[in-house]
Amino acid sequence: MFMPVVNITNYMTFRKIKEIYQKILTVFSLLIAIIGIGFLLKTIEKEELRENFDIMAFEIFDKKDLETKNYYSIIKSGDVIERGSIEKYNSHKKKIQNEYSRVIKKKGRLERRLEKIKSLGSSNKKRTNKIKKIEYRINDLSVRKDCLNLISRNLKALESSTDIFKLNELPINALSGNLTYDYKNDTVLINYISGQTYSFIHEATHAYQFYAGYIVFVKNTKLPTALDIPDEVWAYRAQYAYDPMGVKRMTSNKKINGIEDIDEDWVLNIKNLKAPKGDPRGKPYQRDYIYKEKKDINTTLGELLERNKDIAYYDKIIKLEDLLSIPSIRKLIANKPIDKSTALSKLRILFPYFDFNNKIKLKHLPNAIIGDSELIIRN
């Protein structure tokens, strides 16, 4: 009796399918094992990173961040920020997000109201005036919305910075906040009035300006250098975006009706009526310690000296070694036996016709503290 060929073929086909299936199963098992080992190593690596590094002051992250490379960008050696400050930072951030949502909703309601009024016609003078007022409010809300969005983006930039930022609450009766630098711990201190998100926003805006290179800290000075009136306009507009009434209640030379009314002239004339007798903040004080013209890390020494007349101080602290990154100065001293520790005062004598004041910039000062992303402003 002959065995049908079809049965042998079926049997051979089944064996081949079984062999292929077993190979696939083996490969799949190996892949699972490799992925498992990789995940375990990654977990161990993260735990080691947590043990060997401290979390940067502004590095607020969630579980999603831990699975991305953002986790590694927020690690920096330094003191661990206290949990209370992290919670306060998150609280301010949440309030900003809530205000952003509220502004969008309010803008939508006004737009619907405007559309309804316009549908009635504009022949009535009273109705025409009402339309203008609503359009002004819609425009103000639109600018506030964009500004609140910018505030959140700036905070996000600080969160990815390698600079260390720390929140420091001032007493509730403090006249104002400020931004200072803790040179001992290499930390930027955001000093704001306790519990006041508008104050936090104002000073956090200055923190971003430091990060971006708009302002610089110089050792032996309490306040940031290159802080100018445009920087303050930016900070007060950010403050207004969150709390319009707080800015409107401030005393200056004109009334604030909308965010675009906050300009350089208004900032220059701010005074605090609650300031004690003799306190400079009781009169327009901004003009006394803030540059009127825009300054940043690329501001020249000559421009700084227009306001700070202490030329002897800079001539003493600035050494040739601080200036070697400047091409024109490298060319000036080429093939000349000049010691790198030579002070600027002596360099002026050796090269009397060289314009050091316009070649040396703020970022070249030996005691200047430059923000993490000074590359945002370049020459």
Q: Would you state the structure tokens that stand for residue 63, as one six-digit string?
A: 């579980």
Looking at residues 344-350, what average pLDDT do you find? 92
**CB of 355 within 8 A of CB of 332?**
no
In 3D space, the residue among 153, 154, 244, 241 whose CA is nearest the CA of residue 190 turns out to be: 154
**CB of 215 within 8 A of CB of 202?**
no
Q: Would you state the structure tokens that stand for residue 323, as one six-digit string?
A: 């200036």
The residue extents of the domains of the chain are: 5-73, 83-212+228-289, 301-370
Q: Would you state the structure tokens that stand for residue 13, as one six-digit string?
A: 């086909």
H/E element, 357: helix 356-359
pLDDT digits (tens, 9 = 90+) for 12-42: 565 666 667 676 777 677 777 666 666 555 4
Does 133 score more than 80 pLDDT? yes
Looking at residues 273-297, what average pLDDT do you find? 76
Confidence (pLDDT) at 24? 73
Considering only 63-72, 75-84, 244-253, which range has the smallest mean pLDDT?
Answer: 63-72
d(CA 169, CA 166): 10
Look at the pTM and tell me if it is higher than 0.75.
Answer: no
DSSP 180-198: EEETTTTEEEEEEETT-HH
d(CA 114, CA 131): 7
**CB of 264 within 8 A of CB of 327?**
no
Which pLDDT band holds residue 233 (cuts at 50, 70, 90)?
A: very high
Q: Would you state the structure tokens that stand for residue 245, as one six-digit string?
A: 């009434």
Confidence (pLDDT) at 234? 94
| β-pairing verdict for 165-170 and 187-193 | parallel
Looking at residues 301-319, what average pLDDT do you find? 77
Does 1 score more than 80 pLDDT? no
Does 291 score more than 90 pLDDT? no
